Amino acid sequence: MTEPANTYALSGRTALVTGGSRGIGRGIAIGLARCGANVAVNYREAAGAAAQVVTEIERFGRKGVALRADVTDPRAVDRMLTEMESAVGPAEILVNNAGVVRRTPFLEIPQEEWTVVLETNLHAAFLVGQAVARRMVKHRVRGRIINISSTSARIAGPNLTPYCVSKAGVTMLTKQMALELAEHGIQVNEVNPGLIETDMTHAYIQNEANRQLRLGRIPLKRIGEPADVVGAVLFLASRDAGLMTGASVFVDGGVTVW
């Protein structure tokens, strides 16, 4: 899979990618820089990986900054946005990408697991989305917010109850935000990837039985890689998506045709 072409002009725009240190978020952060944006790369623990993403961003001649913050913590989010404003300017594009998965049979899910998945995948998308949208309104920025949801928003999966519920929540959060922020010129959409090979899924995919089971359900017969998701995000961040809001863009090899 080659990197997507630099089709969308985002020159001079400023973007924040949560969970930009690894996996899909890393690909998105670098893709945004390739299209001309200055990019703030949020991470929780992977400081070295985030610094490498910033180096990649700077290779395109753009400004980049790595910002440590646990996106489930409102005070950390507020500090992060203030730091971002002094380093690269206020966010005009937000990609709510940070996420976690836990795989546990329904009857065995401990409450802490439910909480951590819902807080990271759904609550944080609300927290960061609201905080950034408030700043967009204040600075009169006609911004773009792109939430990374999943095919799990639509399809139940074994041992994935909190994850699927969190992603279904992101779909309705996207629609609500789209509805209520339209009057401020802020467009909110989501991208729903299918199975993509990253640290989150590597061990699961390495299991041959899981791999064959999943491939059997994907019409295009391919497990994705982060680069597969990037183009959809760049499009939604671009002028070409000027009439889109509240939409779900599935990048899933056709798994949701069933």
Ligand X SMILES: NC(=O)c1ccc[n+]([C@@H]2O[C@H](COP(=O)([O-])OP(=O)(O)OC[C@H]3O[C@@H](n4cnc5c(N)ncnc54)[C@H](OP(=O)(O)O)[C@@H]3O)[C@@H](O)[C@H]2O)c1
- Asked whether position 196 contacts ligand X by CB under 6 A, the answer is yes
Q: Give the E-state strand segments of the chain in sequence order.
A: 14-17, 38-43, 64-68, 93-96, 144-148, 187-193, 248-251
Distance CA 121, CA 204 (A): 19
- Asked whether position 162 contacts ligand X by CB under 6 A, the answer is no
- Which single residue is written with the structure tokens 């709510």? 96
Strand partners of residue 144:
93, 187
Residue 72 CB contacts under 8 Å (≥ 6 apart), including other chains = 119, 120, 123, 124, 127
Distance CA 104, CA 107 (A): 8
| Contact pattern from residue 32 through residue 71 relative to ligand X, giving x for each residue in contact according to CB under 6 A and a dash for the rest | ----------xxxxx-----------------------xx
Mapping DSSP to helix (H, G, I), strand (E, B) and coil, where does residue 175 land?
helix
Distance CA 100, CA 200 (A): 7
Which position among 31, 99, 162, 231 is part of the footprint of ligand X (CB under 6 A)? 99
Is position 163 annotated as part of the catalytic site?
yes
Which position among 4, 13, 14, 21 is part of the footprint of ligand X (CB under 6 A)? 21
Distance CA 125, CA 8 (A): 25
Q: Which is nearer to ligand X, 9 or 47 (CB)?
A: 47
- For the CB of residue 39, give the shortest distance to ligand X in the complex, in Å: 14
Torsion angles phi and psi, residue 151, rounded to 5: -60, -20
- For the CB of residue 135, give the shortest distance to ligand X in the complex, in Å: 18
- Asked whether position 199 contacts ligand X by CB under 6 A, the answer is yes
- For the CB of residue 72, give the shortest distance to ligand X in the complex, in Å: 5
Which position among 38, 72, 245, 248 is part of the footprint of ligand X (CB under 6 A)? 72
- Asked whether position 171 contacts ligand X by CB under 6 A, the answer is no
- Asked whether position 144 contacts ligand X by CB under 6 A, the answer is no
- Asked whether position 13 contacts ligand X by CB under 6 A, the answer is no
The catalytically annotated residue of 8, 43, 163, 204 is 163
- Asked whether position 150 contacts ligand X by CB under 6 A, the answer is yes
The closest of 144, 134, 123 to 191, measured between CA atoms, is 144
Catalytic residues: 163
> Could you list the residues that contact ligand X (CB under 6 A)?
18-19, 21-25, 42-46, 70-72, 97-100, 120-121, 148, 150, 193, 195-196, 198-201
